[in-house]
Structure 1
Amino acid sequence: MKYAGRLAAVAVVGALSLAACGTDNNSPAGSTSSAAATSAASGDSSLSGSINAAGSSAQANAIDQWKKDFQGANSGVSVNYQPSGSGAGIQAFIAGTVAFAGSDSALKEDEPTQADARCKTGKAINIPMVTGPVAVVYNLPGVDGVQLSPKTLAGIFNSKITKWDDPAIKAENPDAQLPSTPIQAFHRSDESGTSDNFTKFLKATSDWPHEPGKAWPAEAKGQGAKGSDQVAASVKGAEGAIGYVELSYAENSELQKAKVANGSGEFVELTPESAAKTVETAKITGTGNDLKLEIDYATKTPGAYPIVLVTYEITCEKGLPAEEAKLVKAFLTYTASDAGQKALTDLGYAPLSGELLTKVRTAVEAIS
């Protein structure tokens, strides 16, 4: 990956800032559940069975790598993850058909009550595992470095700006030779935390008339594609197309990424460093081992790329069947370990580190 060599260092900065806004657990990062992490990484002959999980396609590449490594060390365990989208994953978790859900947004509205009821003897918790910057990708041969403000993005994705030589786009790209090619705006057709974060960004920074949510607003129209991989493939296959996907999908598809204006009006290129500057402004709003984060999409921090998401693993702090809890705890202990987080650096993600990683490990240790 183009930025892989820089991801780990950037993540340290972002995670330290995040943690400063959280609880007052100041134990050393490596101290929590160190024995469990060592066991998970080296293999535990007592572990056997299957873990069923579903949700975020944004973290599918990470889960695939984690599955390979964890199952390689624990031959008796099978990890089955269905990248069905964050909304579907949460509903499957609430229904009790999966042990944990991957989601690009934390539980909200009536979901915590339903999830707590599924946990029976405990509560559901949001455990962040990886940061995934969201790229605005486009397919416009011969036009590099397109710059787009939140207002212009809102017009494009609300089907109000329909050609690449629209005056609004030309004003933000005065030196570009923009063609009159029709714009094909692709969005997620399935319920998605990526859509939730992208529409939260639009709502917080522009005149986007729709409420943010995992489901794309029908009134905005556009073309739908299921999963981040299909959005990326659709943009790659259609000249004039634009869409939103996580950085890993943008890099793997070799798509061009637009520069996006932050709250100060500065057009910023998406890099791990620029995304980390926005992550630095997030704060932990959950309590106890619930590590829900709040992101400032309108950040005015110089050099900050404003569209980022955090992928959570949502599971029961207490209340899973004993054998299921043992397997989930072992797997998430590995994903939160140094080895598990290091595995992300070649996949276009920003690993966790520092104080936030300590809090994540503490939350995983509490699973029973």
Structure 2
Amino acid sequence: MNVRKNKLVSLAALGLTAGLTLAACGGSSDNGSGDGAGSDNGGAAAAGGYAELTGNLAGSGASSTQNAQTAWTETFMGLVGAEGGDLTVTYDPTGSGTGREQFLNGEVKFAGSDAALGEEELEASTEVCNGEQAVDLPLYISPIAVVFNIEGVDSLNLTPEVIGGIFAGDITNWNDPAIAESNPDAELPDLDIVPVHRSDDSGTTENFTEYLSETAPDAWTHGPIETWPIPGGQSGDGTSGLISTVEGGNGTIGYADASQAGNLGVAAIQVGEEFVEYSADAAAKAVDVSPRAEGRAENDIVFELDRTTTEEGVYPIVLVSYLVVCGSYSDAAEGEAVKSYASYITSQEGQQLSAEMAGSAPLTQELSDEVQGVIEGISVG
């Protein structure tokens, strides 16, 4: 993990340097019209640049996006500072459920969540959103890796039924015939399986159990849930806590955003007749074949992920992490800060930085343009 952390720091520094260079070369222009800058520089030109951004902007939520949010906040603050602004942006990886709760309580001005706001949450959001509902903006697409730590085993093929059986507690040994059938060349040990789950309210858990519910309903009967439903077992708080728990044992298996898999083994997942390894491209394909969720407002962009697809090259254990923001902010300075930050994340630069830092799949140009349109429609003041 130290190697990966060093890479994280190096990439963040590179991203910050690139952002400062960009701002120094062209971001200080006084004209507020340049159409190209809106795309490349997070929409700053359309809002008059970053020079007027001041104060503190706090967000919290999904720990899956921790690496990406670290890069985004540091680089964005560098851009703001280069233009003469003085805005501090922070993101606390508390978990999706806590992030949404803090947002609805007015404790933070934006949230990250691997699960979109529910109907009751949308209704409650009008209390903190100047009478309008909040919106969900898809800004991070990433595979959920099934990570394992088994001494002597470097690769593993797992079917949905086996994964469901393991996490339900019904498959308990690594040499179980159901596992051996898909791994004829592996030397599976006579070793207890130790499933590890998230201890906090987690959108990653909800996405993972939604996948199990739809692909292996006989093995996983607990439905899609955000809070782990089975008492006991080993767990970790947040993505980093789960990874540490898996790393600390032998025979352990867990699920986490792929950006934080580190040096752990990662299973290939059966999709149709093949076993598919995770990748950003395979995760992006899963979103491409998925429809939009029905019954949402036009500016609330939420996907109904197709977990049961058998299309070639698709990795269906995927999460779409949403940036949850208000549709209206009564404080103009606060609203402009949120809009500028959200626009930067959506920009080509922001999406590329996330891809480099966290291995996420950049938004398509079409989806990016749609999200930018929603951001521009947020009212302030």
- Check if 1:193 corresponds to 2:215: no
TM-fit CA distance, 1:277: 2.3
Q: What is the percent sequence identity of the aligned residues?
A: 39
What is aligned with 1:120? 130
Matched, 1:367 2:378: yes
1:305 to 287, 293, 315: 315
Structure 1 residue 344 corresponds to structure 2 residue 350: no
Which residue number in structure 1 is paired with residue 101 of structure 2?
91
Deviation at 1:34, TM superposition (A): 7.2
TM-score, normalized by length of structure 1? 0.86
Aligned to 2:114: 104
One-letter amino acid of the structure 1 residue matched with residue 284 of structure 2: A
- Give the Cα–Cα distance (whole angstroms) in 1 for the partners of residues 249 and 41 of structure 2: 50
Secondary structure of 1:172's partner?
A: coil
Shift of 1:46: 1.1
Query: Where does residue 61 of structure 2 map in the other structure?
Result: 55
- Distance 1:306-1:39 versus aligned 2 partners, 3 A rule: same
Q: Distance in 1 between matches of 2:41 and 2:344?
A: 11
Structure 2 residue 215 is the aligned partner of structure 1 residue 215:
no
Q: Hey, what's the Cα distance between the residues in 2 that align with 1:195 and 1:41?
A: 37
Q: Is 1:138 aligned with 2:148?
A: yes
| Pair 1:268-2:276 in alignment | yes
Match of 2:334 among 315, 324, 330: 324
Q: Is the contact made by 1:101 and 1:315 (CA closer than 8 Å) also made in structure 2?
A: yes
Name the structure 1 match of 2:292. 284
Residue by residue over 1:144-185, the C-alpha shift from the partner in whole angstroms, topping out at 9 and shown as x without a partner, is 321111111111111111111112111221221100111111
Q: TM-score, normalised by structure 2?
A: 0.84
1:72 aligns with 2:78: yes
Q: Give, in angstroms, the shift of residue 36 of structure 1.
A: 6.1
Q: Deviations over 1:257-284 (max 9, x none)?
A: 101112x243211122322221221122
Query: In 2, distance between residues paired with 1:210 and 1:42?
Result: 50
Could you say which residue in structure 1 is the equivalent of 2:50? Answer: 44
Letter matched to residue 256 of structure 1: G
Q: 3-state SS of the aligned residue for 1:181?
A: coil
Distance, in Å, in 2 between the alignment partners of 1:30 and 1:216 is 46
Inter-CA distance 35–162: structure 2 relative to 1 (3 Å threshold): closer
Q: In 2, are the aligned partners of 1:143 and 1:176 still within 8 Å (CA)?
A: yes
Superposed CA offset, 1:121-151 (max 9, x none):
2111000111011000101132232111111
- Whether the aligned pair in 1 keeps the contact of 2:308 and 2:316 (CA below 8 Å) is yes
Q: Which amino acid aligns with 1:196?
A: E
Farther off after superposition, 189-198 or 253-262: 253-262
The separation in 2 between residues aligned to 1:64 and 1:32, in whole angstroms, is 22
CA positional deviation for 1:293: 0.9
Give the counterpart of 2:268 among 256, 259, 273: 259
Unaligned residue ranges in structure 1 (runs of 5+)? 2-28
RMSD over aligned Cα atoms: 2.2
Question: Any stretches of 5+ residues in structure 2 without a counterpart?
Answer: 1-6, 8-34
CA shift at 1:211, angstroms?
A: 2.4
The partner residue of 2:178 within 168, 175, 197 is 168
Query: How far apart in 2 are the matches of 1:364 and 1:329?
Result: 6
Structure 2 vs 1, CA of residues 144 and 65 (structure 1 numbering), >3 Å: closer, same or farther? same
1-structure distance, mates of 2:264, 2:147: 6
Structure 1 residue 287, shift from structure 2 partner: 3.1
Partner of 1:241: 252
What's the offset of the Cα at 1:198?
A: 0.2
1:231 lines up with 2:242 in the alignment: yes
Determine if contact 2:109/2:325 at 8 Å carries over to the other structure: yes
Shift, 1:42, TM fit: 11
Cα deviation for residue 85 of structure 1 reads 0.2
- Distance in 2 of aligned mates of 1:315 and 1:95: 13
Give 1:113 deviation, angstroms: 1.3
Q: CA deviation at 1:116?
A: 2.9
| Higher RCO structure (Cα 8 Å, ≥6 apart) | 1
d(CA) in 1 for partners of 2:353 and 2:38?
20
Mean CA deviation greater in 196-205 or 299-308: 299-308
CA distance in 2, matches of 1:311, 1:138: 23
* Distance verdict in 2 for CA 1:336–1:171, change over 3 Å: same
Q: Tell me the SS of whatever aligns to 1:105.
A: coil
The alpha carbon displacement at 1:344 in A equals 1.3
Distance 2:126 2:195 in 1: 37
